[in-house]
Chains A and B, each alone.
Chain A
Amino acid sequence: MQERQIMNQEDVRRALTRVAHEILEHNRGAEDLVIVGIHTRGVHLARRIAASLVEFEGIEVPVATLDVSLYRDDLGTRSQTQTKLQPTDIPSGIQGKRVVLVDDVLYTGRTIRAAMDALVDFGRPQQIQLAILLDRGHRELPIRADYVGQNLPTAISERVKVRLVETDGTDEVALIFEEIYSEDSDSESEPESNE
């Protein structure tokens, strides 16, 4: 298995800063906004975006956390089954609010589908938007993100690893892939720009 860095600490910071600005621009401020992070890394990203909103405009936006495990359609069929649940906490409620869902990677879209199902059990939001740090493609559902940190075309055989200071001690996004040619093994090390 090889690993290649896609985003470094600065890239992550800039992407989140831009996403925060875009959220303000798109919603013309932050009125009635609730930021909902999807466990685990989405929660940390949601908190960072909320902190940016305070920094830019001095607006405190409520942050909620969501564990979508109980709403997944692929329970028991995933290669890694997670049965330990994280806290779902939506203190402000979402009735009539503009909800910005936050997650680290957008892939099949099934997590977001589950998240939307979970959200409507808490009320009827005026709107649900989606902010994502990295969109790697391969959607299996008609779902797209409103705010994207970075797009990265990937192969299905590859894996994307998001590391954050809060959970992994460092901020980076890495692509993990299997070596295709066994001969020139140490060929990739130059930083790549993807777009």
Chain B
Amino acid sequence: MSRSRTIDTPDIEGSSASEPASRKHVLDLDDFSQEEISAVLDSARSMKEVLGRDIKKVPALRGKVVVTLFYEASTRTRISFEEAGKVLSADVINMSSSGSSAEKGESLLNTGLTIQAMGVDTIVIRHPHSGAPYLLAQQLDKVSIINAGDGLHAHPTQALLDLYTVRDKLGSLEGCKIVIVGDVLHSRVARSDIWGFAKMGAKVVLSGPNTLMPPDLIRSNNNIARSAFASLVEVDTNLDRAIEGADVVMALRLQQERQHAGFLPSLREYIRRWQVTDERMARANPGAMVMHPGPMNEGIEISNSIAHGGSSVIEEQVTNGVAIRMALLYKVTIGPAQQL
């Protein structure tokens, strides 16, 4: 038998034994295991330490190129990804649909192929159509795709930063109760959060007007078997009841255009029944925290005093968002080991 020479670096062996398999894309949390989510949250904690330094710069992604491709308006998500990439020393190029060749009618796929041909390593995409990031992930073989929000479908990086924020405060997500209030129907944040919190062993309760609950989640007693997704949550349209014993209350933005589309009898009624207020928070567990994915309509889904009160972790969510996006950019851009 001949001696085979294997070249590797055994001085780092061992510690990666339980490491989850490497990942090329982040599209939604449905294909994340509990272990992988935990690993991302742990990495984000180390990234947060980097953000706390005097010199916020590490060379990890030096020479890598990240493009943020946004077909929808965004402040926090785009800036958050840009900061995350720059702190990791990647070159970050921002592209939005206005002012790009998308205005000349270029298809998403052709834009993606063009960006890939330029040697970009990772594309962060936000798109008004559900599934757009999946199209790029299927068709582009050389770049990693991170979903920064697609239509009504998913917003996995927001969900991970929510998980991080809650775990940071409570120590663990196992067994905690999270109430998501408001326009769940049009919320991609809620859908990814449901996957994430449920996978981590938290109990998720949705509350809001019936018209704004996803039909696949509320039809529980007809002939259609509940989907795996629907079995992850409970729905209680009575917020005063739903909020009892909650550890986390997450208010969702009531998107202005919904108020005129027949989903709500009146804005005043919505405020009266589903606004997150001090009185309602008093029914939650002591020390319960209030979250909001932003941007907020203060005075509608959340009262002013709650939005800026002691129970609010809304600003921490934003800070943690940068750390989470660093962890994800690092994870997918470094990528699986190349074949030597």
Of the four ranges (under 10, 10 to 19, 20 to 34, 35 or more), the interface on chain A belongs to 35 or more
Q: Does B260 belong to the interface (CB within 8 Å)?
A: no
A70-B337 contact given A80-B13, A85-B43, A105-B11, CB 8 Å threshold: no
Q: Does A56 belong to the interface (CB within 8 Å)?
A: no
Q: Name the A residues within 8 Å of B4 (CB-CB).
A: 157, 178
Q: Name the B residues within 8 Å of A69 (CB-CB).
A: 60
Closest to A160 in B: B10
Q: Name the A residues within 8 Å of B59 (CB-CB).
A: 70-71, 117
**Hey, what's the 0/1 contact readout for B28-53 against A, CB within 8 Å counting as 1?**
00000000000100110111011001
Q: How many A-B residue pairs have CB under 8 A?
A: 125
A75-B334 contact given A70-B59, A70-B60, A179-B1, CB 8 Å threshold: yes
Bound complex: CA A41 to CA B49 (Å): 21
In the complex, chain B residues 50-97 whose Cβ is within 8 Å of any chain A Cβ: 50, 53, 55, 57-60, 88
Contact of A82 among B10, B19, B45, B340 (CB under 8 A): B19
**Hey, what's the 0/1 contact readout for A27-69 against B, CB within 8 Å counting as 1?**
0000000000001110000000000000000000000000101
Binding site for A on B (CB under 8 A): 1, 3-16, 19, 22, 39, 42-43, 45-47, 49-50, 53, 55, 57-60, 88, 327, 330-331, 334-338, 340
User: What are 25 A-B pairs at a CB distance below 8 A?
Assistant: A70-B58, A74-B9, A78-B8, A79-B340, A80-B8, A80-B337, A81-B16, A81-B334, A83-B330, A83-B331, A84-B19, A84-B43, A85-B46, A87-B49, A89-B49, A107-B10, A108-B9, A110-B9, A121-B55, A156-B5, A161-B14, A162-B14, A167-B14, A180-B1, A181-B1
Binding site for B on A (CB under 8 A): 39-41, 67, 69-72, 74-89, 103-108, 110-111, 117-118, 121-122, 136, 156-157, 159-162, 167-168, 178-182
Q: A67-B46, A70-B58 are in contact. List 16 more A-B contacts (CB 8 A).
A: A70-B330, A71-B59, A74-B9, A76-B334, A76-B337, A78-B337, A81-B16, A81-B336, A82-B15, A83-B330, A83-B334, A88-B49, A121-B57, A157-B5, A161-B14, A182-B1
